[in-house]
Structure 1
Amino acid sequence: MTLVLTASTLESLASMTETITAVERGFGDIARGTALQPGPLSLHLPSSEARYLLMAGLAESQGLAAVKLLSDIPANHHEGLPTQRSSILLADRRTGETLALLDGRVPTRIRTAAASAVASRFLARPDSSTLGLVGAGALAIAHVEALMAVLPIRKVVMWSRSASTLAAFKAGTAHHQIEVVRASSVQQVVEEADVLCTLTPSVEPLVRGEWFRPGLHVNAVGARPRPTHREIDSEGMRRSRVFVDSMPTAIEKSGDLMMAVAEGVITIDDVEGELGGVIAGDVTGRESEDDITLFNSVGIGMLDLAIGRLLYDAAVLHGLGTSIDMSR
Structure 2
Amino acid sequence: MRDDQTFLYLNAADIAAIDLDPNEAREAVLEAFRAHHEKRIIAKPKLTLEIGPGHSFQTLCSAWEESGFAANKWLGMAPASPSSELPGIHAVIALNDFASGRLVGLLDGNVITAVRTAAMSAAAAQYLALPTSRTLGLIGCGLQARFHIAAMKAVLPGLSEIRAYSRTRRSAEALVQEAQESGWNGTVSDDAETAIRNSDVIVTTVPMSSGLAPFLDPAWLAPGSFLSAVDIARSWQPHDLRRLEILVTDDHAQQHESPPISPELGRIGSFDADLAELASQAKPGRADNEQRAMFIFRGVGLADLAVAARVFAAAEAKSIGQRLIR
**Superposed pair shares fold, TM > 0.5:** yes
Contact 2:176–2:188 (CA under 8 A) maintained in structure 1:
no
Q: Which amino acid aligns with 1:66?
A: A
Residue from 198, 218, 230 that aligns with 2:234: 230
Q: TM-score, normalised by structure 1?
A: 0.89
Q: Which amino acid aligns with 1:60?
A: E
Q: Which residue of 2 aligns with 1:226?
A: none
The question of 1:206 aligning with 2:210 is answered no
> 1:175 Cα deviation (Å)?
3.5
> 1:80 Cα deviation (Å)?
6.6
Partner secondary structure for residue 37 of structure 2? helix
Residue from 227, 243, 260 that aligns with 2:248: 243
Aligned-partner Cα distance in 1 for 2:186–2:50: 41
Q: Which amino acid aligns with 1:30?
A: H
Aligned-partner Cα distance in 1 for 2:34–2:290: 26
The question of 1:216 aligning with 2:218 is answered no
Partner secondary structure for residue 269 of structure 1? coil
> 1:268 Cα deviation (Å)?
4.7
Q: Percent same amino acid at aligned positions?
A: 26
Residue deviations 1:203-253, cap 9 Å, x none? 322321121222111100025xxxxx7122124411222111112222344
Q: Which residue of 1 aligns with 2:3?
A: none
The question of 1:18 aligning with 2:27 is answered no
Q: Which residue of 2 aligns with 1:83?
A: 88
Aligned-partner Cα distance in 2 for 1:76–1:154: 31
Q: Which residue of 2 aligns with 1:321?
A: 321
Partner secondary structure for residue 87 of structure 1? strand
Aligned-partner Cα distance in 2 for 1:211–1:302: 33
The unaligned stretches of length 5 or more in structure 1 are 224-228
Contact 1:238–1:266 (CA under 8 A) maintained in structure 2:
no
Q: TM-score, normalised by structure 2?
A: 0.89
The question of 1:112 aligning with 2:117 is answered yes
Q: CA RMSD in A?
A: 2.2
Aligned-partner Cα distance in 2 for 1:124–1:79: 34
Give runs of ≥4 in structure 1 deviating > 4 Å: 75-81, 264-268
Aligned-partner Cα distance in 2 for 1:171–1:57: 38
Q: Which residue of 1 aligns with 2:150?
A: 145
Aligned-partner Cα distance in 1 for 2:31–2:266: 30
The question of 1:98 aligning with 2:98 is answered no
Once structures 1 and 2 are overlaid, which stretch shifts more, 12-21 or 151-160? 12-21
Q: Which amino acid aligns with 1:95?
A: S
Aligned-partner Cα distance in 2 for 1:220–1:86: 21
Partner secondary structure for residue 70 of structure 1? strand
Q: Which residue of 2 aligns with 1:165?
A: 171
Map 1:271-282 → 2, pairs under 5 A? 271-282=271-282
Residue 18 to residue 171, structure 1, CA distance change in 2 (3 Å): same
The question of 1:183 aligning with 2:185 is answered no
Aligned-partner Cα distance in 2 for 1:78–1:129: 32
The unaligned stretches of length 5 or more in structure 2 are 1-5
Residue from 256, 260, 263 that aligns with 2:262: 260
> 1:30 Cα deviation (Å)?
1.0
Aligned-partner Cα distance in 2 for 1:78–1:216: 32
Partner secondary structure for residue 213 of structure 2? coil
Residue from 172, 193, 209 that aligns with 2:199: 193
Partner secondary structure for residue 271 of structure 1? coil
Q: Which residue of 2 aligns with 1:299?
A: 299
Q: Which amino acid aligns with 1:141?
A: R
Residue 307 to residue 142, structure 1, CA distance change in 2 (3 Å): same
Aligned-partner Cα distance in 1 for 2:274–2:221: 22
Residue from 69, 73, 77 that aligns with 1:72: 77
